[in-house]
């Protein structure tokens, strides 16, 4: 497998391998040992979906030291995580909706981990065996609410606040990737996943010691510095090295 997407035609939802813009339907379990059609499927009439439908979304905070500084917060001693509602998911091309225009609402570009196997209590050295792949994401955040409350689930769980996709990249080194965010064509965030405080394998290991992770679960690994407010009419693009960009408009 390489890049895997999830699509809908009518009432049918299916996975496909994406090769040079062509879709090859997956047969079997995407989290098992699937096979793929030899001939591409017609793209006409297809609706792109988020690349997986997770049972839960877990977000990791303050995982880049420069972002912790811009938030005036201390770097955590172990991964800081919380849950985001699955109803906050938004596919590539979908529109981010700001529920309270009078509030400050920010973009946050992130690398997301997609779990491939049920996992509980795994060591960092073994974590890669349980990961299906990686995709681009955003952790859209209502800062006004975040700064007024002690927990962060509400401010980050509004509908459309978790853009994800467009594809799961199954063959990549997650710790050697440039990560950028462009707002209306202007570079706003520009970093590298090697700058994470806790790398992907340590994150998966830590979370798995606290709860069971299931196939398709999504973990957002934190955002680098450069966060900023969004407004209606904005075009946001997350570019992660070697990935198809994640593009969303704001309304």
Mean pLDDT of 26-47: 93
- Whether the pLDDT of residue 44 is over 90: the answer is no
Residue 75 confidence (pLDDT):
85
Q: What is the pLDDT of residues 158-209, one digit of tens each?
A: 999 999 999 999 999 999 999 999 999 999 999 999 999 999 999 999 999 9
Beta-carbon-side half-sphere exposure of residue 240 (alpha carbons within 13 Å):
28
Cα 89 to Cα 163: distance, rounded to the nearest angstrom = 6
Distance in angstroms (rounded) separating the CA atoms of residues 169 and 114: 9
212-221 residue pLDDT tens: 999 999 999 9
Q: Is 90 exceeded by the pLDDT of residue 234?
A: yes
- pLDDT at 70 exceeding the cut of 70: yes
How many Å apart are CA 66 and CA 75, to the nearest integer? 9
Which pLDDT does position 71 carry in this prediction? 83
Q: Report which of 209, 219, 143, 135 is spatially closest to residue 179, judged by C-alpha positions.
A: 135
Q: Considering the chain, what is the average pLDDT of its residues? A: 96
pLDDT tens figures, 133-149: 999 999 999 999 999 99
pTM for the structure as a whole: 0.96
Contact partners, residue 245, CB within 8 Å, separation at least 6: 136, 237, 238, 239
Q: Please state, in angstroms and rounded to a whole number, the distance separating the CA atoms of residues 239 and 251.
A: 21
Q: Spell out the domain ranges in the chain.
A: 3-48, 57-250
Which CATH architecture fits 57-250? Alpha-Beta Complex (3.90)
* Mean predicted confidence (pLDDT) in 65-69: 87
Cβ-contact 88, 156 below 8 angstroms: yes
Quick check: bond before 83 cis, omega within 30?
A: no
CATH tag, 3-48: 2.30.30
CA distance 95 to 251: 6
What does the pLDDT average to over 7-21? 95
Calculated CA dihedral for residues 57, 49, 4, 10, nearest 10 degrees: 140
Q: Using CA atoms, how far apart are residues 45 and 169, in angstroms rounded to an integer?
A: 24
pLDDT, residue 1, reads 63
Give CA–CA dist 158/154, Å, rounded.
Answer: 7
Tens-place pLDDT, residues 76-89: 899 999 999 999 99
CA pair distance 82, 219, nearest whole angstrom: 10
Q: In degrees rounded to 5, what are phi and psi of residue 203?
A: -65, -50
Question: 88-137 pLDDT, tens per residue?
Answer: 999 999 999 999 999 999 999 999 999 999 999 999 999 999 999 999 99
> pLDDT-based confidence at 43, cuts 50/70/90?
confident
- Say what percent of the chain tops pLDDT 90: 92
């Amino acid at each position: 497998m390489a890049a895997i997407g999830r699509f809908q035609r009518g009432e049918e939802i299916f996975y496909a391998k994406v090769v040079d813009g062509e879709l090859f339907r997956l047969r079997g379990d995407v989290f098992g040992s699937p096979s793929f059609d030899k001939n591409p499927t017609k793209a006409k009439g297809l609706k792109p979906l988020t690349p997986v439908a997770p049972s839960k979304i877990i977000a990791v905070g303050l995982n880049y030291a420069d972002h912790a500084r811009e938030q005036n917060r201390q770097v955590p001693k172990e991964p800081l995580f919380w849950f985001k509602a699955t109803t906050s998911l938004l596919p590539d091309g979908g529109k981010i909706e700001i529920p309270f225009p009078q509030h400050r609402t920010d973009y946050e570009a992130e690398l997301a981990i997609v779990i491939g196997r049920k996992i509980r209590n795994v060591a960092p050295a073994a974590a890669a065996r349980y990961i299906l792949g990686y995709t681009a994401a955003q952790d859209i955040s209502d800062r006004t609410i975040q700064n007024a409350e002690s927990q962060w689930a509400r401010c980050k769980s509004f509908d459309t606040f978790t853009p994800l996709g467009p594809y799961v990249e199954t063959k990549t080194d997650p710790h050697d990737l440039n990560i950028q965010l462009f707002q209306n064509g202007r570079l706003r965030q520009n970093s590298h996943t090697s700058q994470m405080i806790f790398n992907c394998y340590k994150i998966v290991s830590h979370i798995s010691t606290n709860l069971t992770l299931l196939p398709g679960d999504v973990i957002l690994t934190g955002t680098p510095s450069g966060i900023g407010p969004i407004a209606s009419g904005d075009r946001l693009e997350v570019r992660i090295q070697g990935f198809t960009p994640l593009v969303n408009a704001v309304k």
